[in-house]
Homo-oligomer: A and B are copies of this chain.
Amino acid sequence: MSGKRAAVRADLTNRLLEAATARIERGGLGSMRARDVTADAGCGLGKIYKCYEDLDDLIIHVNSGTLARLRHALQAGIDGVDEPALRLKALAKAYLQFARDHTNLWLALFQHRLPGERTAPDWHVRENTELIGFIARSIAQLEPEISEDQLAARARTYFAAVHGIVLIGLQGKFVAPPEGSLDRELEDLVGRLTTFETPSDG
């Protein structure tokens, strides 16, 4: 039956994905090479092009997996936390932890660019917007009355600010912040962002 062939193919596709993920996790996006990945997966070089369009396609699938894992980590971080402001702190904390645990995979989410005019497939774009939507839900709990557009903007602001702090903190080119400082900075930031008082002007 042809089901077996499909299964074998799926298995190898998966092994390639895992090998690529492991390579990126260890050495960063720039260190992932077709030859290494196929060697790790235990197959010939050409196999990559039977299972994936090309290396970019493989990277997109790695990023897709990373997004899913990030999503789970964020979800786990807020499970059992009901107070909205605390939820947002928990989200930031989980984001920092995920970035610490999987720095290179996390960086690859933002580093990878498709060449020329090529754009990411729809399903992958959707995965990204859904992550922001997930964050928006926690913000909506804090401020249930704001509009759809405002909510989207708030979610982006909140995510981007947290992301910036984690990014500069973890891959800061020159000065590494002292131990534990990052955690405090995030606490502080989210505390301020969840303080209700509207700024006086603007």
Spell out A's residues near B (CB within 8 Å).
89, 110, 113, 120, 125, 128-129, 132, 153, 156-157, 159-165, 167-169, 173-175, 177, 181, 184-185, 187-189, 191-195, 197-202
The answer to whether A167 touches B160 (Cβ under 8 A) is yes
Q: Which of B128, B161, B177, B191 contacts A164 (CB 8 A)?
A: B161
Told that A163-B167, A164-B168, A192-B199 touch, could you supply 18 new A-B pairs with CB distance under 8 A?
A110-B173, A120-B173, A128-B174, A128-B175, A129-B174, A129-B175, A153-B177, A156-B169, A160-B168, A160-B185, A161-B161, A161-B164, A161-B165, A162-B164, A188-B199, A192-B192, A192-B195, A195-B199
| B contact residues around A156 at 8 Å (CB) | 165, 168-169, 177, 185
The answer to whether B129 touches A188 (Cβ under 8 A) is no
Write the chain B residue with the least CB distance to A175: B129
A160–chain B nearest beta-carbon distance, Å: 4
Given contacts A120-B174, A163-B168, A168-B159, contact A184 B153 (CB under 8 A): yes
| B contact residues around A187 at 8 Å (CB) | 199, 202
Mind listing 24 A-B residue pairs with CB under 8 Å?
A: A89-B202, A120-B174, A125-B174, A128-B175, A153-B181, A153-B185, A156-B169, A159-B168, A160-B165, A160-B167, A160-B168, A161-B164, A161-B165, A163-B164, A164-B164, A164-B168, A187-B199, A187-B202, A188-B202, A191-B198, A192-B193, A194-B199, A195-B197, A195-B199
